[in-house]
Structure 1
């Protein structure tokens, strides 16, 4: 890792990233793409050393409370967080100043901050968003080698359910010829149902590849699935969007099962929920069915 001071931490939409780069090792990670102009090796995580101070300054200046989001580009619970505790300090500020929070992660490490997350959620709202791509833990170790397996993520979502903390799952990506099967999809959806997940975001049954992450992905296919890279190249050439050959059938399963389980799949509704600030003490609360 290396440290860097930054000028600001919150975007116009009140999102932030405490780190730049990642050590989860997910073979499909879009954040490796060269379009993001990262000037350091991806695994050499850049720590925004003054992020906590900048966040407090920004929260003090705000005239109206809102939701603070994080995790869109860099998981706030990468292993470095265990020693640095930047996310925890940010959550403490969010709780102290009465703001809401929504964060995206692949790690159950957020359970270390569960009491704090619960406090925020009791006063306003704190939404835990978990990425899940495959139900099989052994396959998960190949696709996402340096992060907790799916079973541990689902257990973490159960802990949220038991405390009434709302959760949303990002079901992305489904890798063609790897995990784009009806069985994998159905098992993930049943797991989400059992964990009380309120919404699932899917952006198509497939994945995207562009310069930077394509080369890394193909390198990992050669390593773990010999011959599959050539199948990708023959099927998709250099396309950005790589839909599963079974995309339509998978999407039908997704919609039908989520309707049966009462899980919201409407992207607009879910994002509106993630961004809507709630003051529970004042009786302002937005439900997500």
Structure 2
């Protein structure tokens, strides 16, 4: 089934009874390839929307799938010509970003970045979290781009697509190299992550924050360890994320919490608890984002929901569609992050009240841009005088 830009077909599932949903979930957990998928978020490896052929793994009756090894993370080197990506989206607060990696080992089943793997001829499912691309030249490319005459300084966002502190960063250390370049140039940066590995770079971030050049947003989706384990199998536990907020704040690094994504009927009841816990850990601001299911993410999420929470399937999908004009997703700017309708309004109002009560609605201080010093990079023409 091919997803459209704004939603996917919904004809097959509203008729599912609770018993049918439970039966399908039981069958899914007994799939012969379930052992191979252990520790992964997606249960499918559907072909990307640009592929002309669809392939599916199935048992031929000889138990051949039992002989296949578990999915292992594979990392390929990607050599882009530029590292700074520009955007003009009217509902996003930044105009440039860096993604040190393509794909994400965290395996969050809801990740809106999954469809980007289709551009590589790979699946948004298991491929997205197991077949990764690293950009080891990122720091060198960044230095070259910052050195170009006429470069206009604005904060660079990192982690807005895939997490820069995903597990493979421990070995590749690309994010740290990028931060070293930004610190040397006094360039402002905003980081979004759900990994406690960000605390490894507190030494750099602390120095940058003292100059008004750095801030961090920690994504906390749930405080329920079981839900987090199934929904974000290789991300840091909720407790680790709260501890990371505490460590960053104690180091003087402005840190906010992102309750994202909020999934109606699944984790939205935790909204106030997430904000309470983050504020107690030292978070100084907060935001939230509603679940987004673009392109291939919709069938992946629905399959996951049927396997792990079949009793909630009909309610969750019904609420999602009530906020998306009857579709799984509405890509309209201004609505895609928040949704629309009574339920979306209710969640927004709850957030506003809780954030106001906790002092998390304060306006973020602007990061400085006047300290920027262009790096002297090889390959950039020097000025005559």
- Is the structural similarity TM-score above 0.5? yes
The 3-state SS of whatever aligns with 1:33 is helix
Distance 1:8 1:180 in 2: 39
Q: Conserved in 2, the CA contact under 8 Å of 1:123 and 1:279?
A: no
1:116 paired to 2:116: no
Write the distance in 2 (CA, Å) between the matches of 1:160 and 1:226.
38
Matches within 5 A, 1:200-239: 200-203=286-289, 206-233=290-317, 236=321, 238-239=327-328
Once the two structures are TM-superposed, the CA of residue 159 in structure 1 deviates from its matched residue by 0.7
> In the alignment, which residue of structure 1 is the partner of 2:329?
240
Q: Report the Cα distance in structure 2 between the residues aligned to 1:110 and 1:96, rounded to whole angstroms.
A: 19
Query: Which of 219, 223, 229 is the matching residue for 1:141?
Result: 229
Match of 2:84 in 1: 10
TM-score by length of 1: 0.84
May I ask how many residue pairs the two structures share in their alignment?
Answer: 271
Shift of 1:79: 0.7
Q: Provide the rounded CA distance (Å) in 2 between the counterparts of 1:96 and 1:233.
A: 48
Is 1:257 the counterpart of 2:354? The answer is: yes
Name the counterpart of 2:188: 100
RMSD: 2.5
Q: 1:103 deviation in Å?
A: 0.9
Q: Give the match's secondary structure for 1:141.
A: helix
Match of 2:23? none
Relative to total residues, which structure has the larger helix share, 1 or 2? 1
After superposition, the C-alpha distances for 1:18-39 in whole angstroms (9 at most, x for unaligned) are 1111111112111113696343
Q: Which SS does the other structure have where 2:286 is aligned? A: strand
**Aligned equivalents of 2:305 and 2:341: distance in 1?**
16
Please show how residues 1-289 of structure 1 align to structure 2 within 5 Å: 1-12=75-86, 13-33=95-115, 37-40=119-122, 41-43=127-129, 44-61=131-148, 63=151, 65-181=153-269, 184-203=270-289, 206-233=290-317, 236=321, 238-241=327-330, 246-264=343-361, 270=364, 273=365, 276-277=367-368
After TM superposition, the structure 1 stretch with the greater mean CA deviation from structure 2, 92-101 or 235-244, is 235-244
C-alpha distance in structure 2 between counterparts of 1:49 and 1:195, whole Å: 34
Deviations 1:177-196 (CA, angstroms, capped at 9, x unpaired):
21121xx1121111121122
Q: Which runs of 5+ in 1 are unaligned?
A: 281-289
User: Bigger radius of gyration, 1 or 2?
Assistant: 2
Q: Is the 8 A contact 1:98 1:124 kept in 2?
A: no
Question: What TM-score, normalized by structure 2, do the two folds share?
Answer: 0.64
Distance of 1:153 and 1:50 partners within structure 2: 29
Equivalent-residue separation in structure 2 for 1:279 and 1:195 (angstroms):
31
- Cα deviation for residue 208 of structure 1 reads 2.0
